[in-house]
Amino acid sequence: MSLVAAPMAAVVDLATSAQLQQATMEVEEEAKAEQQQESYSSILLMKGVRHLSDSGITRLPDRYVLPAPDRPDAGAGHDGLATTTTSVVKVKLPVVDLARLRDPSQRAAVLQTLDAACRGYGFFQVVNHGVDGDVIAGMLDVARRFFELPLPERARYMSPDVRAAVRYGTSFNQAKDAVLCWRDFLKLACHPLRDVVASWPREPTDLRDVASRYAAASHGLFMELMEAALQALLGMAAAAGVLGELAAASSHMMTVNCYPACPQPELTLGMPAHSDYGLFTLVLQDHVEGLQVMHAGRWLTVDPIPGAFVVNVGDHLEVRTVLYPASWHY
């Protein structure tokens, strides 16, 4: 009996072991498949929204879906502030005319307009700014062509270093964002311009030339606006001292944003609500509307003036003055 029983017991043990082994392998295979899928999904997400849009997706990946209260059509906006629900409410921002600002007989009146816009909105639009239309059109064109480059060419400039002189990426900060936003970006350090241009992307072949001309023109406009704002705020003598400091040691960054077609735009944002950390941000839009600013507790869509720059007062100027607040998203 014992001789028969022992083999039977051994057979049962072997069968059980084989079943356990098979079950373990199946679990491991499933885990491996899930891990591969997660890894594949992460790779897709890191490739950015241009890649997702070009791939023809019809459903927004879960990582891009905002919580219900933060979505564009939600009844309560960011920070619990009211926003529009069923219709887009546009706002015509105050307009600062630099042709009038440059006229000594009209400068005082324009300074008042500028000061009121910074205090009341934290935003304004600049017209007759003197930046050549070809420079503006060229920058929009080369930016479009950069984001049309094959992904491996764009990916050369991917970097986790937020201080990198050149940085290509997606979302706001894809390494840290709990929910990703629907944008790809190229950031270019622009100061000192003569030293950093050589580090900018080589493709498109005219990017360095076109972007450097735009950077130089926009920096000149920034300095003129800062002079006017400081004069309105501090007076001529005090403004001159601060401008001297800015001319000697200022930072200048250009960010090129791409917001491709989105399959479910009601679930996401191109950029979340935020304020900018600098002094002034000059925003150049193409023909597609979408920039929204916070004013009187509501998110309002900017009604753009063709050829104008939207100017945003940054945290640095707000902290210095405790007067000029601003928040925006896209």
Average pLDDT (93-105) is: 96
CA dist 89 and 218 (Å) reads: 29
Q: State the Cα angle at 287 between 221 and 62, rounded to 5°.
A: 105
What is the tally of structural domains in the chain? 2
For residue 99, the surrounding DSSP H or E stretch is helix 98-101
Based on the domain organization, do 101 and 34 belong to the same domain?
no
Based on the domain organization, do 310 and 198 belong to the same domain?
yes
> Looking at per-residue confidence, does 329 or 151 come out higher?
151
Q: Are 289 and 275 in contact (CB under 8 A)?
A: no
Q: What percent of the chain has pLDDT over 90?
A: 51
Average pLDDT (246-272) is: 89
pLDDT of residue 75 exceeding 50, the answer is: no
Q: Are 228 and 101 in contact (CB under 8 A)?
A: yes
Average pLDDT (55-60) is: 94
Based on the domain organization, do 160 and 30 belong to the same domain?
no
199 lies in which domain range?
A: 68-329
Average pLDDT (299-310) is: 92
DSSP single-letter state for residue 304: P
pLDDT interval class at 182 (50, 70, 90):
very high
Does residue 234 belong to any structural domain of this protein? yes
Based on the domain organization, do 197 and 227 belong to the same domain?
yes
> Looking at per-residue confidence, does 290 or 16 come out higher?
290
Q: For tokens 């934290």, what's the residue?
A: 122
pLDDT interval class at 72 (50, 70, 90):
confident
Computed over every residue of the chain, the mean pLDDT equals 80
pLDDT of residue 293 exceeding 50, the answer is: yes
